[in-house]
Chain A
Amino acid sequence: MKQFSLILLSSLLIAGCSNLDRSRDLANQNVRPEVTARQLCSDCHGVDGNSVSPNFPKLAGQQEEYLVKQLQSFRHGDRASEQSYQYMWGMTATLTDEQIKGLAHYYNQHVIKLSLSKETDRILLAKGKEIFENGIPAKQSPACKLCHGAVGEGMATIPRIAGQHAAYLVRQLVIFQENAGRPGTPMESVTHGLSAAEMDSVASYLQALGV
């Protein structure tokens, strides 16, 4: 018991000093971005950017410029969907541009891992592939790959969508379609005519799409 007490008191003394290698302080600009990513962002997005829950997007392998733009958009309140406000505004409020660039680089350097999908409906996946590759001309919805790349890998500020959680992708498509907080992209018109089933099929295809 004495040793336990000594360990406790020693720990408290150590705690008086900020440890930059394991800090969870968002406002301290001396905390390296990879420390922030591991100590804080990992809680939702996974330590390597491969989130477990489809509530939160996978960030592994994501385009660096896209991540920078999104984090700045959260910080400024421009990306204003319900989930943006609920989860991300506060987390980004004190981030500097340097911290944001560091976080974007951290996640870009990791490799996205495919989630095991319960979706085995080949018809659904085939419909999704058709939309991804050819769009839906009748609804004036262009092919996803025209902007997001031949295998959904993204480019610069256009995000990687291959391997992303289907539920997250569907939610974003709905947000674009309803113009509910992600302005400044062509996605509102792209998604204008998509049905829920079409969103589901293309999202399911993309979740299973390895790059």
Chain B
Amino acid sequence: MVSTQRIDAYVSQALVSLAILSALGIGFIFSKSASALPLFARQTGQSCLACHAGGQFPELTPYGRLFKLTGYTQGVRTDIPLAVMAVASYAKVSSYNGSDSSGVDFPRDGTANITTASVFCCGKITDNIGVFAQYTHDLWASQDASGSWQEHSHIDQVDIRYSDRFIDESHDFIYGLSLNNNPGVTDVWNTHNSAFAPVSSYVPAGNAIFSSSALPHDVPATPILEGLQYSAGLSGYFYLNNALYAEVGTYKASTSGLSFLHDAGVGGPGALSTRLSGSFNPYLRLAANHDWNANSLMLGIHALHASVFDDATLINSNSYSTFNDIGMDGQYQYLLDPHALTLLFSFTHENQNYSGYQHTANSFNPSDTLNYLRAKITYVFRARYGASLAYTQAQGSSDLGIYGASPAANTQANLSFNHSPDSKLWVPEVFVMPVQNIRVGLQYFKWSQFLGGHTYTYYSGLGTPSSRDASDNNLAFLYVWLAY
């Protein structure tokens, strides 16, 4: 039997080779024509709506799915294989309840911010190799001890592909390989992955607007499938006759030669993505698809098994916890100009089995379960006016150690009064795209449940825990999204 270390070495060599070959391919890019649209649109010469339902990110059309599955290689290489994106936003939280100092606890509330900006690279490299890589700069990443805001630049989503397609009148077979840094970033339905989450795509993560622990903008308890960005993954896939999709991948810690895939700030030493045990943390995705007239329907399953060392000091020990995710998801689309309708859902069940160390140090139970549900409906008219309604729900076993009840002194935290992860979040949204490069939207984050009910928080300067109701976290969010 091949040792774990040896498997590590093989996978690392393969991943690094793919990255190097892709990077070498970039040298051949600077030779073709360009137009006035973001990267992939410049490459194909088409409008955003060719690939995105109603021209709005992230839902893909059947054509957009094929573009991605064929490795971003359709069209003509561009002169400058870059695109940029920026988000400006204004947010207002429902209530400052539980805070003795709103200026400290909600420092960017009620102010307009240029929140985040990203650069995208590279699209088509060769006839068979293409790259989707995002590098992001957060202007309000964190605050230091003096309260000054710190900026942070980091790698974001990465999907480097090799693909080929065998097609004639009797069959259509696409297969490919992907080096990526997030389970599900490879997926073309965007139902179950965190890379293109259906709810908070335009909402900057982390501390961009608020102290993240003081005000959540997404359900806090998520399966590990949602939490492995910045790991290193290699997956193979095929898509047969526009009807059957299968993908098998494995993920490992993004260390040593693969460290370019992780964010040294968020995904640095100790981060989940650097604590994966070994090279075999498998990801599986199967989907059945059927297109008829203007309709498209997909039903699928997804699964991930991950073993995670309990903390950075225990890497390569026998102290790791295992997480088993399995779920089903689906999408229905009706696309006929000027209408674009997308409905999607994803349900994931997770078993969390803690190591003895983890059980002693953190969790109250030896194992926990979590059920995670997402659903969203989006309608866009004339690729200009749109509305959506998203719902996210988490329900699972109560665990005093994980979801807590007694915050430590001088920390900000959301801790459940009944130790429960149960949360329900509704996000209605309206938006308008005056041109395809600009989107202006208004979202309202309505919490009907948050961590089991009301939460205990402990804000700076206050001697005893304070409580907030779920609805105190409700949030109005106005954003302007620009891409070029």
A residues sitting closer than 8 Å to B (CB atoms) are 1-2, 4-5, 8-9, 11-12, 14-16, 18-19, 22-27, 38-40, 42-44, 47-48, 52-55, 82-83, 85-87, 89-91, 93-94, 115, 167, 171
Is there contact, CB below 8 Å, between A90 and B172?
Answer: no
For A38, the chain B residues whose CB sits under 8 A away are 167-168
CB of A19 within 8 A of CB of B127, answer yes
In the complex, how many angstroms separate the beta carbon of B431 from the nearest chain A beta carbon?
19
B162 x A11 contact (CB < 8 A): yes
**Interface-lining segment among B39-47, B102-110, B261-269:** B39-47
Contact assessment for A171 and B337 in the assembled complex, using a CB-CB cutoff below 8 Å = yes
Q: How many A-B contacts are there with CB distance less than 8 Å?
A: 128
**Alpha-carbon distance A42/B177, docked complex (angstroms):** 22
Nearest to A6 among chain B residues (CB) is B14
A15 near B162: Cβ-Cβ < 8 Å: yes
Are the C-beta atoms of A48 and B2 separated by less than 8 Å?
Answer: no
CA of A82 to CA of B234, assembled, Å? 40
- Given A12-B21, A24-B73, residue A86 in contact with residue B293 (CB < 8 A): no
Q: Is the CB of A55 within 8 A of B129?
A: no
B2 in contact with A85 (CB, 8 Å): no
Q: Give A90's nearest chain B residue, CB to CB.
A: B45
- Report which B residues bind A (CB closer than 8 A): 2, 7, 10-11, 13-14, 17-18, 21, 32-33, 35, 41, 44-47, 49-50, 62-63, 66-67, 70, 73-76, 126-129, 162, 164-169, 172, 177, 234, 236, 279, 291-294, 335-337
Assembly CA distance A45 to B76 (angstroms): 20
A22-B337 contact in complex given A85-B47, A86-B46, A86-B47, C-beta closer than 8 Å:
no
Instruction: From the candidates A16, A93, A115, name the one contacting B126 in the complex (CB within 8 A).
Output: A16
- C-alpha gap A24/B124 in the complex (Å): 10
A5 pairs with B291, CB closer than 8 A:
no
A26 touches B75 (CB 8 A): yes
**Residues on the B chain within 8 Å of A15, using CB:** 126-129, 162
Q: What would be 23 A-B contacts, judged by CB atoms less than 8 Å apart?
A: A4-B14, A8-B17, A8-B162, A8-B234, A11-B164, A12-B17, A12-B21, A15-B126, A15-B162, A24-B73, A24-B127, A38-B167, A38-B168, A39-B165, A42-B172, A43-B63, A54-B294, A55-B335, A86-B50, A87-B46, A89-B45, A91-B46, A167-B294
Q: How many angstroms between the C-alpha atoms of A69 and B35 in the bound complex?
A: 24
Q: Assess the A1–B11 pair: CB atoms within 8 A.
A: yes
The reply to whether A27 and B127 form a contact with Cβ atoms under 8 Å apart is no
CA distance A83 to B49 in the complex (A): 10
- Choice from A5, A12, A24, A171 contacting B11 with Cβ under 8 Å: A5
Contact A87 B76 (CB under 8 A): no
Q: Closest CB-CB distance, A88 to chain B, in whole Å? A: 8
Closest residue of chain B to A28, judged by CB? B127
- Nearest CB in chain B to that of A2: its residue: B10
State the majority secondary structure of interface residues on B. Answer: mixed
In the complex, what distance in Å separates the CA atom of A15 from the CA atom of B130? Answer: 11
Bound-state Cα–Cα, A48 to B35, Å: 30
* Residues of chain A within 8 A of B50, CB atoms compared: 86-87
Nearest CB in chain A: distance from B281 CB, A: 13
Kindly list chain B residues whose C-beta atoms are within 8 Å of the C-beta of A115: 293
- Nearest B-chain residue to A11, judged by Cβ: B162
Bound-state CA distance A66–B74 (Å) is 26
CB-CB under 8 A from A39, the residues of chain B are 70, 74, 165, 167
Closest residue of chain B to A82, judged by CB?
B337
Chain A residue nearest to B280 (CB atoms) is A1
A12 to B70, CA, bound (A): 15
Chain B residue numbers with a CB within 8 Å of A1 are 2, 7, 10-11, 279
Chain A neighbourhood of B74, CB < 8 A: 24, 26, 39-40, 43
Chain A's closest residue to B65 (CB) is: A43
Q: Given A24-B127, A26-B75: A90 and B294 within 8 A (CB)?
A: no
Distance between Cα atoms of A94 and B45 in the complex (Å): 10
Distance of A18 Cα from B76 Cα, bound (Å): 14
Known: A8-B177, A22-B164. 19 other contacts (CB 8 A): A5-B11, A16-B126, A18-B126, A26-B75, A26-B76, A39-B74, A39-B167, A42-B167, A43-B66, A43-B74, A44-B63, A53-B62, A85-B47, A86-B47, A90-B35, A91-B44, A94-B76, A115-B293, A167-B294
State the CA gap A87–B234 with chains docked (Å).
33
Q: How far is the CB of B127 from chain A (nearest CB, A)?
A: 5
Contacts A26-B76, A86-B50 given; does A9 touch B126 at CB 8 Å: no
- The answer, among B18, B127, B336, for a CB contact under 8 Å with A55, is B336
Shortest Cβ-Cβ A-B pairs, 3 listed: A90-B45, A5-B14, A86-B47
Contacts of B293 in A (CB 8 A): 52-54, 115
The residues of A that contact B76 with a CB separation of less than 8 Å are 25-27, 93-94
Contacts of B70 in A (CB 8 A): 24, 39
Report A-chain residues with C-beta under 8 Å of the C-beta of B13.
5
CB-CB nearest in chain A for B70: A24
Report chain A residues within 8 Å CB of B7: 1
Chain A residue with the shortest CB-CB distance to B292? A52
CB neighbours of A47 from chain B (8 A):
167-169, 172
Nearest CB in chain B to that of A31: its residue: B127
Pair B49/A167 contact, Cβ less than 8 Å: no
Q: Find out whether the CB atom of B337 lies under 8 angstroms from the CB atom of A27.
A: no
A44 contacts across to B, CB distance below 8 A: 63
Pairwise interchain contact A9-B14, C-beta atoms closer than 8 A: yes
The CB with the most chain A CB atoms within 10 A, among B18, B127, B168, B172, is that of B127
Residues of A within 8 A of B73 (CB): 24
A48 and B171 CA atoms in complex are apart in Å by 11
- B46, B292, B337: the one contacting A90 at CB < 8 Å is B46
With CB as the reference atom, state the residue of chain A lying closest to B22.
Answer: A12
CB distance from B4 to the nearest CB of A (A): 10
Q: A9 and B336: CB pair below 8 A?
A: no
Shortest distance in angstroms between B130's beta carbon and chain A's nearest beta carbon? 10
